[in-house]
Chains A and B, each alone.
Chain A
Amino acid sequence: MDYNWLSDCEKFHRRDVLKVGVLSLLGLSLSKYYALADATAKTGKMDQTSGTADSVVLIWLAGGPSHIDTFDPKPDAPLEIRGNFKAISTNGNMQLSEHLPKIADQADKITVVRSVTSPTAAHEIGTHYMLTGFMPLPGFAVPSYGSVASSLLGPRSALPPYISVQQPGSEMGPGFLGASLGPFCPGGDPANANFAVRDLDAPTYMTPEKEQRRRELRDVVDTAFKNYEKGSDSARAIDSFYNRAYTLLSSNEARAAFDLKKEKEETKNAYGRNNFGQSLLLSRRLVEAGVRFSTVTLGGWDNHSNIFNALGQSHLPMFDQAMAAFIADLEQRGLLKRTLIVVMGEFGRTPIINRDAGRDHYSRVFSLMLAGGGIKGGNVVGASDPKGMEPAADLVRPEDLAATIYHCLGIDYTQSITSPEGIRITLARGGTHIRKAMA
Chain B
Amino acid sequence: MRLMKFHGSYLLCAALAVACTGGGAFAQRRHVAAKPATHGAAVLAAKAAAEPIPDKVEFLRDIAPILDRGGCSGAQCHGKFGGRAGFQVSLLTLNPEDDYEPIVFGGRGRRLNFAEPEKSLFLLKATNVLPHAGGPRFEVGSQQYRTVLKWIKQGAQFSESDPRLTELTIVPNKLTLTKVGQKVPIKVMAKYTDGSTRDVTKKAAFSSTNGVSLGVNEDGVVTGLRWGGGGILARYLGTVTATFVTLPQERKGVYPQLGTENPIDKVVFENLKRLNVIPSKRSDDAEFLRRITLDTLGRLPTIDETEAFASDKAADKRPKLIDTLLDKPEFADYRTLRLCDLLRVNPRKLGGNNELAERSATLFYEWINKSVAANKPWDQFVREIITARGSTYYNGAANFYRVEREPNDRMENIGQAFLGVRMMCARCHKHPFDRWNTDDYWNFASFMSKVGIGGGRILDEQVVNYNKYGQVINQSVNGHNRGKVAPATYLGEKDPLPADAAIKGDLVDDLAKWITNEKNPFFARATVNRLWSNYFGKGVVHPVDDMRATTPESVPGLLDVLSQELVSHKYDIKYLIKLILNSQTYQFSGVPNDSNVKDDRYFSHYFPKPMPAAALLDIVNQATGAAENFGTFAERTKAVQSALPPNNYFLSAFGQSHREFLADMDPKLEPNLVQTLIMINSPYIEGKIRNGNTVKAVMDKAQTDEDLVRGLYSRTFCREPNPTELAKSVALIQGAKQKREGAQDLLWALVTAREFFFNH
Residues on B with C-beta less than 8 A from A425 are 22-23
**Once bound together, how far apart are the Cα atoms of A141 and B662, in whole Å?**
13
Q: What's the count of A-B pairs with C-beta under 8 Å?
A: 257
Nearest B residue to A4 by beta-carbon distance? B683
Contact partner of A221 (CB less than 8 A), chosen from B207, B590, B682, B753, is B753
B12 at the interface (CB under 8 A from A): yes
Q: How far is the CB of A186 from chain B (nearest CB, A)?
A: 10
Query: Is A199 a contact partner of B19 (Cβ separation < 8 A)?
Result: no
**Once bound together, how far apart are the Cα atoms of A425 and B750, in whole Å?**
41
B678-711 to A contact mask, C-beta < 8 Å, 1/0: 1011111011001100000000000000000000
**Once bound together, how far apart are the Cα atoms of A234 and B458, in whole Å?**
49
Query: Contacting chain B: which of A209-217, A257-265, A277-285?
Result: A209-217
B758 at the interface (CB under 8 A from A): yes
Residues on B with C-beta less than 8 A from A421 are 543, 546
Instruction: List CB contacts (< 8 Å) of B221-238 with chain A.
Output: none
A216 touching B732 in the complex, CB below 8 Å, given contacts A137-B23, A179-B672, A231-B592? yes
A424 touching B16 in the complex, CB below 8 Å, given contacts A199-B682, A214-B748, A231-B597? no
Query: Is B1 a contact partner of A175 (Cβ separation < 8 A)?
Result: yes
A157 at the interface (CB under 8 A from B): no
A231 touching B687 in the complex, CB below 8 Å, given contacts A138-B4, A170-B1, A249-B681? no
**Once bound together, how far apart are the Cα atoms of A199 and B686, in whole Å?**
11
Query: Contacting chain B: which of A57-65, A85-93, A367-375, A429-437?
Result: A429-437
B184 at the interface (CB under 8 A from A): no
**Once bound together, how far apart are the Cα atoms of A174 and B671, in whole Å?**
13
**Once bound together, how far apart are the Cα atoms of A76 and B27, in whole Å?**
47
A422 touching B209 in the complex, CB below 8 Å, given contacts A138-B425, A178-B670, A230-B592? yes
Query: Is B31 a contact partner of A416 (Cβ separation < 8 A)?
Result: yes
**Once bound together, how far apart are the Cα atoms of A239 and B424, in whole Å?**
37
A241 touching B672 in the complex, CB below 8 Å, given contacts A176-B1, A218-B752? yes
Query: Is B11 a contact partner of A180 (Cβ separation < 8 A)?
Result: no
Residues on A with C-beta less than 8 A from B21 are 429-430
Query: Is B680 a contact partner of A138 (Cβ separation < 8 A)?
Result: no
Residues on A with C-beta less than 8 A from B4 are 136-139
A166-183 to B contact mask, C-beta < 8 Å, 1/0: 000011011110111010
Contact partner of B3 (CB less than 8 A), chosen from A128, A209, A221, A238, is A128
Q: How far is the CB of B232 from chain A (nearest CB, A)?
A: 12
Query: Contacting chain B: which of A14-22, A118-126, A314-322?
Result: A118-126
Query: Is A235 a contact partner of B749 (Cβ separation < 8 A)?
Result: no
B28 at the interface (CB under 8 A from A): yes
Query: Is A245 a contact partner of B732 (Cβ separation < 8 A)?
Result: no
A245 touching B23 in the complex, CB below 8 Å, given contacts A141-B1, A221-B749? no
A366 at the interface (CB under 8 A from B): no
Instruction: List CB contacts (< 8 Å) of A112-161 with chain B.
Output: 119-120, 122, 124-125, 128, 134-142, 160
**Once bound together, how far apart are the Cα atoms of A138 and B142, in whole Å?**
38
A222 touching B673 in the complex, CB below 8 Å, given contacts A231-B596, A426-B22? no
A224 at the interface (CB under 8 A from B): yes
A228 touching B36 in the complex, CB below 8 Å, given contacts A176-B1, A245-B673, A422-B209? no
A124 touching B732 in the complex, CB below 8 Å, given contacts A423-B23, A430-B36? no
Query: Contacting chain A: which of B45-53, B168-176, B578-586, B604-612?
Result: B604-612
A38 at the interface (CB under 8 A from B): no
Known: A241-B672, A249-B680. 18 other contacts (CB 8 A): A120-B14, A136-B6, A137-B15, A199-B674, A199-B678, A220-B724, A228-B591, A228-B592, A231-B592, A235-B608, A241-B675, A241-B676, A246-B680, A395-B38, A399-B36, A430-B36, A430-B38, A430-B39
Would you give 23 A-B contacts (Cβ < 8 Å), ordered by A?
Answer: A122-B9, A124-B5, A135-B16, A137-B18, A138-B6, A139-B422, A140-B19, A171-B3, A217-B749, A222-B749, A222-B755, A225-B753, A228-B754, A235-B754, A238-B671, A245-B676, A246-B680, A416-B28, A418-B25, A422-B207, A429-B31, A430-B35, A430-B36
Task: Tell me the B residues contacting A by CB distance below 8 Å.
Answer: 1-6, 9, 11-12, 14-19, 21-25, 27-28, 31, 35-39, 76, 207-209, 211, 422, 424-425, 427, 543, 546, 590-592, 596-597, 599-600, 605, 607-610, 655, 662-663, 668, 670-678, 680-684, 686-687, 690-691, 717, 722, 724-725, 728-729, 732-733, 735-736, 741-742, 745-746, 748-750, 752-755, 757-758, 760
